[in-house]
Amino acid sequence: MALRIVLADDHETVRIGLRAALQRETDITIVGEAADGRAAVDLVENLEPSILILDIGMPGMNGLEAIRRIRAAKLRTKVIVFSMHSDRNYVAEALKLGACGYVLKGSPIKEVTSAIRTVVRGETFLSPKIREGIGSYTELALSSDSDLVLPTLTSREREILQLLTEGKTNKEMAYTLDVSVKTIESHRSQLMEKLNLRSVAELTKYAIRAGMTSLD
């Protein structure tokens, strides 16, 4: 039976390249593509693919939040992160949230297909460069380095944190999340109080350290 895969990356050229390479495999079918985390979650819910391959640094909803939503919904789709970030915090957080694999962009396509085969067997896959740099995935998943305070934030507060770091105004965030500006202001105030931060610059630094957003 063919492995049904969804690709999620905000760079169209990355999706085109991955799709072309993976479709050469006789047992792989690309059933959907998304350019942000929210669309990726919707596709997983509607299509129930075998595997979701997604980037971390996507607009609107990042890959880590998408993994969190998929696992909270108890969807059986296995997630492989495909990212340029090899930092321990990003990898550890992805594994903690439920990712089954982590492949670095720029890796040979055979590494991606190997990751697919590995996670389908119920095992965890890490790019060799990650294993060389930061050890085994079990040690990484138990690491507290990337934990920070994100678990204390609500799902809506995490969304607002990302949108704030992307430079969105209260009005733009209200439109994106389909709530009132007053609701956004309330969540924003609670968010800054919880994190004891007083500016968007401080919030951005925090979000980067937590693996929620990046400078790219």
Instruction: List strands edge to edge, sheet with 28-34.
Output: 28-34, 3-8, 51-54, 78-83, 101-104, 125-126
pLDDT tens figures, 148-174: 445 577 888 888 888 888 888 999 999
pLDDT tens figures, 175-213: 888 899 999 999 888 888 888 888 888 888 887 776 566
Torsion angle of alpha carbons 210, 147, 92, 156, nearest 10°? -60
Collect all residues with Cβ–Cβ distance below 8 Å to 29 and sequence separation of at least 6: 2, 3, 4, 5, 23
Q: How is 22-88 classified by DSSP, letter by letter?
A: HTTSTTEEEEEEESSHHHHHHHHHHH--SEEEE-S--SSS-HHHHHHHHHHTT---EEEEEES---H
Cα Rg of the chain, angstroms: 17
pLDDT tens figures, 100-149: 999 999 999 999 999 999 999 999 999 988 887 665 555 555 554 444 44
Domains assigned to the chain: 3-142 (3.40.50.2300), 150-209 (1.10.10.10)
pLDDT tens figures, 5-25: 999 999 999 999 999 999 999
pLDDT tens figures, 36-59: 999 999 999 999 999 999 999 888
